[in-house]
Amino acid sequence: MHRQPNVHIHLGDCLPILQGMESGSVNLAYLDPPFFTQKVHRLAPRDRSREFSFDDLWSSQKEYATFLFERLSEIRRVVADDGSVFFHCDRNAVHLARAIMDDVFGSENFRSEIIWHYRRWSNSQRGLLPTHQTILYYTQSDNYTFNEIWTEYSPATNVDQILQRRSRDGSNKSVYARDEQGNAIPNGTKRGVPLSDVWDIPFLNPKAKERTGYPTQKPLLLLERIISLATNEGDCVLDPFCGSGTSLVAAQLLNRTAIGIDLSEDAVEITKQRLEEPIMSQSRLLDVGREAYRNADDNALAILQGVDYVPVQRNAGIDAILKQDFAGGPITVLVQRPGETLLEAARKLSKASASKGAKLMFLIAMSRGGCFDFAEELPTGVVVIESPALGIREHLDKLKRPDVLLEKASYLPPVKPESLFETL
């Protein structure tokens, strides 16, 4: 058995190891067992120096069902009364898994069927392209740990839905809440929409830094979400089919303790290495979250309304190219991302635009972080434009007394560029 602080990894069949564990000793079990694909899964790491594999071959559905039932019964015992179980599967055996989970945990403890959706390039097979896997979410009882996660409102949400509190009328219909005078009651803090059971999280791309080369490795973002939902700091996460150890790395990054088990020596070895040097893909996606990333793109495009442009996808340094040229080259645009200084963003834009021959580049400032001392450092050709959001935030800050209402309509010129520069 390997021991990292707060993480234990066991090599072997999980059944006897689970049998040796104390009852009620873990808070969350995440299982990603073989999916009944009737294949041997093989993959090589990036340097192609070796091949990792695991078998998913069964003589019958019955053999597979028995294998799951025995292990899930032990998991039922080792998870605490307020704990949860997330069972990862796909279309090959979701029907079997659901029936077995109902049997072992009780259908009354079924919480959700989570659809993990991702994009894939087309394959040549005839039929519908599979682009999801299923995670069955059960709890041990009614009294379970659940940390709400809120997501953005959809663009179709109307303003009343966001601003007004809702209540139930006499026939239990959801209506806008009203006070005694019949006025709508405001909703208070707008938290967004509770996370749904369809999770749009990208599959690990072949170049992702966190990719180990272990077959069927899951993204850290997916495991982080499960662990954040169902556990608190200091809780214990169990993964009896840990493969490359994704759940253990996520648990470690989120300050949970963890226990991992796998039959494969390669899997245990990779897991140990990952835990010693946990690598999250340093993609913007993982740094700032998918929504923030997507919104930043939307912000860039929203700000450009009224200008003729072509959106640019999959380029870290350019969000759009204007349809008009400047000095024989294209005009490029980038929106500053959360957590990034203006100077960093300006350099990124300049670097990405250089090979396109751009001599004029617009950087849309979303915050002023680190921008006070770089006037002379801004790459040539970069023009910094203040975003409306930044302008509104700063004007609000300037109104020292937010209770003072402006009596007349006012035009507030942009906050003077003590800090934003144009260098051409």
Ligand X SMILES: C[S@@+](CC[C@H](N)C(=O)[O-])C[C@H]1O[C@@H](n2cnc3c(N)ncnc32)[C@H](O)[C@@H]1O
Antiparallel, parallel or unpaired: β 52-56 and 329-335:
unpaired
Least Å from the CB of residue 155 to ligand X: 33
Calpha distance 358→264 (Å, rounded)? 52
Task: Give the three-class secondary structure for 107.
Answer: helix
Altogether, the residues listed in the chain come to a count of 424
Indicate the residue among 224 and 262 with the shorter CB distance to ligand X.
262
Contact at 8 Å (CB) between 270 and 277? no
Which residue do the tokens 């790491």 mark?
Answer: 45
Residues 113-172 that bind ligand X (CB under 6 A): none
- The correct pick among 263, 392, 399, 412 for binding ligand X (CB under 6 A) is 263
Range 310-329, binding ligand X (CB under 6 A): none
Identified binder of ligand X from the candidate list 27, 84, 140, 217, rule CB under 6 A: 217
- Give CA–CA dist 137/117, Å, rounded: 16
Q: Can residue 214 be called a binding residue for ligand X (CB under 6 A)?
A: yes
In the complex, least distance from residue 216 CB atom to ligand X, rounded to whole angstroms: 4
Name every residue whose Cβ is closer than 8 Å to that of residue 126 and which is 6 or more positions away in sequence: none
Bridge-based pairing of strands 309-311 and 193-194 is unpaired
CA-CA-CA-CA torsion for 264, 265, 268, 271, nearest 10 degrees?
-100
Binding to ligand X, residues 8-27 (CB under 6 A)? 13-14
Which one among 34, 213, 260, 330 touches ligand X, defined by CB under 6 A? Answer: 34
Residue among 260 and 381 whose Cβ is closer to ligand X: 260
Q: Does 90 bind ligand X (CB under 6 A)?
A: no
- Per CB under 6 A, which region of 173-181, 216-224, 226-234, 290-298 contacts ligand X? 216-224
- Taking the complex as a whole, how short is the minimal distance between the CB of residue 246 and ligand X, in angstroms? 3
Integer Cα distance of 212 and 45 in angstroms? 6
- Binding of residue 382 to ligand X (CB under 6 A): no
Confirm or reject binding of residue 184 to ligand X (CB under 6 A).
Answer: no
Q: Does 54 bind ligand X (CB under 6 A)?
A: yes
Stretch that binds ligand X, among 20-28, 210-218, 290-298, 310-318 (CB under 6 A): 210-218
The sign of the dihedral angle between the CA atoms of 24, 249, 30, 197 is positive
- The residue number whose beta carbon is nearest to ligand X equals 243
Contact criterion met (CB below 8 Å) for 305 and 336:
no
- Strand-pairing partners, residue 258, are 7, 237
Q: What's the min distance (Å) between Cβ of 35 and ligand X? A: 7
Cβ-contact 267, 244 below 8 angstroms: yes
Should residue 246 be labelled a site residue for ligand X when binding is judged by CB under 6 A? yes
The verdict on 241 binding ligand X (CB under 6 A) reads yes
* 8 vs 262: CA distance, rounded Å: 12
The two structure tokens encoding residue 416:
């003077």
Which of 30-38, 102-110, 178-186, 276-284 is the region at the interface with ligand X (rule: CB under 6 A)? 30-38
Q: Which is nearer to ligand X, 218 or 337 (CB)?
A: 218
Residue 115 beta carbon to ligand X: minimum distance, rounded to whole angstroms? 17
| Three-state secondary-structure class, residue 78 | helix
Q: Using CB under 6 A, list all residues that contact ligand X.
A: 13-14, 32-34, 54, 214, 216-218, 240-241, 243-244, 246, 261-264, 267
